[in-house]
Amino acid sequence: MENEFREKAEALVGQMTIEEAASQLLTKSPAIDRLGIPAYNWWNEGLHGVARAGTATVFPQAIGLAAMFDADSLKEIAEVISTEARAKYNMQSAAGDRDIYKGVSMWSPNINLFRDPRWGRGQECYGEDPYLTSRLGVAFIKGLQGDGKYLRVSACAKHFAVHSGPEEGRHSFNAIVSKKDMVETYLPAFRAAVTEAGVEEVMGAYNRTNGEPCCGSKTLLKDILIDEWGFRGHVVSDCLAIQDFHLNHKVTADAEESAALALKNGCDINCGVVYEHLMSCYEKGMITEEDIRKAAVKVFTSRFKLGVLSDDCEYDKIGYEKVSCSEHKQKSLEAAYRSIVLLKNNGILPLNKEALKTIAVIGPNADSKVVLEGNYNGTADEYITNIEGIRKEMSPSTRLVFSEGCHLYNDRVQPLAEADDRIAEAKAVASMADVVILCLGLDSTIEGEEGDAGNSFAAGDKKNLLFPEPQEKLMREVVSTGTPVILVINSGSAQDVSYADENCAAVLQCWYSGQFGGLALARTLFGSNNPSGRLPVTFYKEGDLPPFEDYSMKNRTYRYFKGDVLYPFGYGLGYSSFEYSDLEVFSDGTDGTFRAEVEVRNTGDTDGEEVTELYICNNAEEMLSNGRNNPYKSLLDPDNQPKWSLCGFVRTALCAGTSKKIGLSIPESAFVTVLEDGSRVVLRGRYTIYAGGHQPDERSRALTGTQCISAEIEIL
Catalytic residues: 238, 447
**Which of 458, 455, 532, 544 is closest to 495 using CA atoms?**
544
Q: Please report which helix (H) or strand (E) contains residue 303, including its range.
A: helix 289-306
| Cβ-proximal residues to 217 (8 Å cutoff; 6+ apart), any chain | 204, 209, 265
Cα dist. 655→207, 529, 581, 602, 704 in Å? 49, 13, 17, 7, 20
DSSP string, 62-77: HHHHHTT--HHHHHHH
The 3-state secondary structure of 509-577, one letter per residue: ECCCCCCCHHHHHHHHHCCCCCCCCCCCCCECCCCCCCCCCCCCCCCCHHHHCCCCCCECCCCCECCCC
**Which of 408, 516, 449 is closest to 57 using CA atoms?**
516
**Residue 432 backbone phi and psi in degrees, to 5:** -75, -20
272: left (phi over 0), alpha (psi -120 to 50) or beta: left
**Which of 675, 678, 555 is closest to 623 using CA atoms?**
675
Q: Can you tell me the distance from the alpha carbon of 254 to that of 648, in angstroms, rounded to the nearest whole number?
A: 48
**Residue 156 backbone phi and psi in degrees, to 5:** -135, 120
Q: Can you tell me the distance from the alpha carbon of 439 to that of 504, in angstroms, rounded to the nearest whole number?
A: 12
Q: How many residues does the chain have?
A: 716
Nearest-Å Rg of the Cα atoms of the chain is: 26
Contact 203, 196 (CB under 8 A): no
CA of residue 90 relative to chain centroid, distance = 28
Q: How many CB atoms within 10 Å of residue 175? A: 22
Contact 661, 586 (CB under 8 A): no
Cα dist. 287→265, 282, 459, 526 in Å? 11, 5, 36, 65
| Cβ-proximal residues to 239 (8 Å cutoff; 6+ apart), any chain | 27, 43, 271, 272
